[in-house]
Structure 1
Amino acid sequence: MDEEDDGVIRTRGLTKRYRGGQLAVDGLDLTVPAGSVFGFLGPNGSGKTTTIRMLMGLVEPTSGTARVLGHPMPRSSRAVLPRVGALIEGPALYGFLTGRDNLLRYDAADPAADPRTRRTRVAAALDRVGLTAAAGKKVKAYSLGMKQRLGLAAALLHPRDLLVLDEPTNGLDPQGMREIRSLVRELASDGTTVFLSSHLLDEIEQVCTHAAVMARGRLVTQGAVAELVAGARGRLVVTTPDTGATARVLKEQGVGDVVVDEDRVTGDPPERDLAEVNAALVAAGVRVRGFGLERASLEDAFVALTGEGFDVAG
C-alpha cells in the first residue's frame, strides 16, 4: 500500500494493557500524513510514550495493528528502523567520550553505515544542531540542552524518511528552541515526515502542520492544526476602565465564563451578533476602549477537547 495514501504512521485499534490491568493505550486509530510535521499531545499518563514505544517496536501491543512506512510493526523492525531517526526519552550517551566520538560510535554500530563517509557525516550532523564548537568536549560536561542536540544529531547521521522526536526542545534555552524549530521545518521541507511529542502547546502550534490529542489512553481528535484551532471558539475581549459594569452587561448578554483582569474583561462569546453586545455596553454607559474576538490558540482547543490543563510531559 502506498505510504502517501496510507500515512507514514497508521494504527488501527492499537491497544496496550500492562500487567495488573492498567490500560495505557485504548483502541488508537492514528494516521500521520506523509511530509507532515505531526504533533502528539496529551496530559500525563495519556499513553503518548507507550504509543511511541509500540511504533518503534520497543513494546508489543496487546491488540490492534501499527504500520510505519507502510510496514507492520514490530514485525518489520529490521526493514523500517534504518529509515527512521528517533530521539525518545532523551539520548543514551557515553559521558566519558566527546560529542564527536559518541556519534562516531553510534555510526560504527550501524551495519548499514558507510565507514568511508563516517567522519564527514558526523561533522555535518554536529554542524546542523550547532555543536561543532563543543564536539571535542566530553559529554559529561554537556548541559541537558547540549545532550538533546547531540541526540538529535545522532538521529540525523543518515537521511531519514521519518523522524520521531520525544520532547526535542527539552532543556534548551529560547534561542536553542528556535533553532530546533527551524531545523524541524527544514527537515520537513526536504521531505522528511516529523512526528514529535511536546508539552509546549505554542511550540506545536508554531511548527506542526497536523496534531493529535490523547487523553486517558484514547484519541480525542486529530487533524490539521489550523482546523483544530478553528474548531475552538475565541474569547471575547473588552478593554475598559469600567470592568464591573462590563462584566454585569456581558453576563446579561449571554457571555459565559466572564473573567475580569485589570482593565480587561474576557468571556466566551454568545451565539448572538457581537455588534448587539457592544451596543448594550455603550447603552449602559460603559467606556469601551477595545472590543473584539481574540483568536483561539491550540491551548484553547486542547482544554476544550480534554477538559484538562496542558501539563503534557508524560
Structure 2
Amino acid sequence: MDEPSVTGPLRDAAGEGIIHTRALTKRYRGGQLAVDGLDLTVPAGSVFGFLGPNGSGKTTTIRMLMGLIEPTSGTAHVLGHPMPRATRAVLPHVGALIEGPALYGFLSGRDNLLRYDSADPSADPRTRRARVAAALDRVGLAAAAGKKAKAYSLGMKQRLGLAAALLQPRRLLVLDEPTNGLDPQGMREIRALIRELASDGTTVFLSSHLLDEIEQVCTHAAVMAQGRLITQGTVADLAAGMRGRLVVTTPDTADAARVLKERGVGDVAVTEDGVTGEPPEGELAELNAALVAAGVRVRGFGVERASLEDAFVALTGEGFDVAG
C-alpha cells in the first residue's frame, strides 16, 4: 500500500492530538501482552510525561509510535497520520532519542552529527556545518565537538543524541529518559532546553523515571501499569485528585498520635518532629482544637499538597522502578 502524501504541514488532525492512539495493543510471540488497549492523546504544544513502573509498556508504546514495530491491533496516529504506514511522511517532522543514542565511537561528536544530517534527504547540504554547530551549542557540547564519541561520558552521549534530534526544526520531539547519565547541572540545562522548545511550539513527549522531573517540566502526563493506561491528564489535575497528608508538628508525638487515631485519622505515623496521617472527612479546625484540648503543644498543623509521586503510588499500587 502506498504511503499517504503530505502536501502541507502536518497538524493535529481533527483536534485529536499530536499523538493519538485507539485500542493500541502489542502482544509478542509467546503470548506476552506488552501494551493492552491503549487510548492515549497528547495535546499539541504540551510537554507530555509518560510514566510507568518496570514492564509497564512505555518503551514498546514509543517504538510503535515511531514505526519501529508493528502493533498487534488498534491504531496510532502521529501528527495526524497513521503509523507505521506513514513513517516516511511523519518522521522528518519528528526528532527522537529512544533507548540511548546510536553513535560511531571512532568519529567525533561533530562528525557523528554530520553523518546524521547527511542521511536526512530534506537537509540542505550547504548549511549542514552551521546546523551541526548550532545543535552542538544548544546542548552544551561545542567545546567537546572534536572529541571522539567513544571518549564521551554517558551524559555527553545523551546530549549528543539530543543534538541529533534537534538538527532540524521539529513538530514533535520524543525523548526516552532525556536526562539519563547527566549530573544535576546537566539535568537543569536539558530541562530548560525542553521548556524552551515547548515555548517555541514543539510538542515534547518524554518518558522518565524521575517524578520530580515530570512535575518540573511537564504540562501533561499519563501513567501506565502492566501494559494498561491508568490515567492521563494535566500534571496539576493528577496531583490535585489526591488528598495530601495531614502534618502536625509537635514535641508531644505520643499524645498527638492517640488523639488523631481517636478522631478517625488513618495511617498515623510518628516522625522526628511530629505526626502525620491520612486526613479524615470533615472540618480540620475541630481536629486541631481536639489536640489543643488534650494538652498537645501544636506548633504546626496543615495538609501537605499531594505530589505526583503520591498519585503514582496510589494509582499503580507500587513504587517507581527505574526500568520499564
TM-score (norm 2): 0.95
Say yes or no: does 1:142 pair with 2:188: no
1:2 Cα shift? 4.3
Aligned length: 314
1:264 Cα shift? 2.3
1:3 Cα shift? 3.3
Per the alignment, in what secondary structure is the counterpart of residue 85 of structure 2?
Answer: coil
Cα distance in 1 for residues equivalent to 2:144 and 2:322: 31
Per the alignment, in what secondary structure is the counterpart of residue 121 of structure 2?
Answer: coil
Alignment counterpart, residue 214 of structure 1, candidates 205, 217, 224? 224
Alignment counterpart, residue 204 of structure 1, candidates 190, 214, 221? 214
Cα distance in 2 for residues equivalent to 1:2 and 1:142: 38
Alignment counterpart, residue 29 of structure 1, candidates 34, 39, 43? 39
Per the alignment, in what secondary structure is the counterpart of residue 113 of structure 2?
Answer: helix
1:140 Cα shift? 1.0
Alignment counterpart, residue 87 of structure 2, candidates 63, 70, 77? 77
Residue pair 1:96, 1:138 contacting (<8 A) in 2 also: yes
Per the alignment, in what secondary structure is the counterpart of residue 51 of structure 1?
Answer: helix
Equivalent residue letter for 1:186: E
Say yes or no: does 1:92 pair with 2:105: no
Q: Who is 1:113 aligned against?
A: 123
Say yes or no: does 1:122 pair with 2:132: yes
Residue segments in structure 1 that go unaligned for 5+ positions in a row: none
Q: Who is 2:268 aligned against?
A: 258
Change (3 A) 1:144 1:81: same
Alignment counterpart, residue 181 of structure 2, candidates 171, 181, 205? 171
Q: Who is 1:242 aligned against?
A: 252
Alignment counterpart, residue 51 of structure 1, candidates 46, 55, 61? 61
Runs of 4+ aligned residues of structure 1 deviating over 3 Å after TM superposition are: 1-4
Equivalent residue letter for 1:255: V
Change (3 A) 1:4 1:39: farther
Cα distance in 2 for residues equivalent to 1:114 and 1:257: 62
Cα distance in 1 for residues equivalent to 2:214 and 2:323: 13
1:4 Cα shift? 6.7
Say yes or no: does 1:231 pair with 2:241: yes
Residue pair 1:42, 1:312 contacting (<8 A) in 2 also: no
Q: Who is 2:4 aligned against?
A: none
Equivalent residue letter for 1:169: T
Residue pair 2:12, 2:44 contacting (<8 A) in 1 also: no
1:112 Cα shift? 1.4
Per the alignment, in what secondary structure is the counterpart of residue 164 of structure 1?
Answer: strand
Cα distance in 2 for residues equivalent to 1:311 and 1:18: 22
Residue segments in structure 2 that go unaligned for 5+ positions in a row: 1-10
1:143 Cα shift? 0.6
For 1:123-180, what per-residue CA distance to the aligned partner results, in whole angstroms no more than 9, with x for missing partners?
0000000000111111111110000000000000000000000000000011100001
TM-score (norm 1): 0.98
Cα distance in 2 for residues equivalent to 1:37 and 1:144: 24
Say yes or no: does 1:16 pair with 2:31: no
Cα distance in 2 for residues equivalent to 1:190 and 1:312: 30
Per the alignment, in what secondary structure is the counterpart of residue 281 of structure 2?
Answer: coil
Residue pair 1:4, 1:33 contacting (<8 A) in 2 also: no
Per the alignment, in what secondary structure is the counterpart of residue 309 of structure 1?
Answer: coil
Alignment counterpart, residue 288 of structure 1, candidates 295, 298, 301? 298
Equivalent residue letter for 1:102: N
For 1:58-117, what per-residue CA distance to the aligned partner results, in whole angstroms no more than 9, with x for missing partners?
010000000000000000000000000000000000111110010001111111111001
Cα distance in 2 for residues equivalent to 1:144 and 1:224: 31
Per the alignment, in what secondary structure is the counterpart of residue 89 of structure 1?
Answer: coil
Residue pair 1:37, 1:210 contacting (<8 A) in 2 also: yes
User: What percentage of residue pairs aligned between the two structures are identical?
Assistant: 87
Matches within 5 A, 1:271-282: 271-282=281-292
Residue pair 1:4, 1:34 contacting (<8 A) in 2 also: no
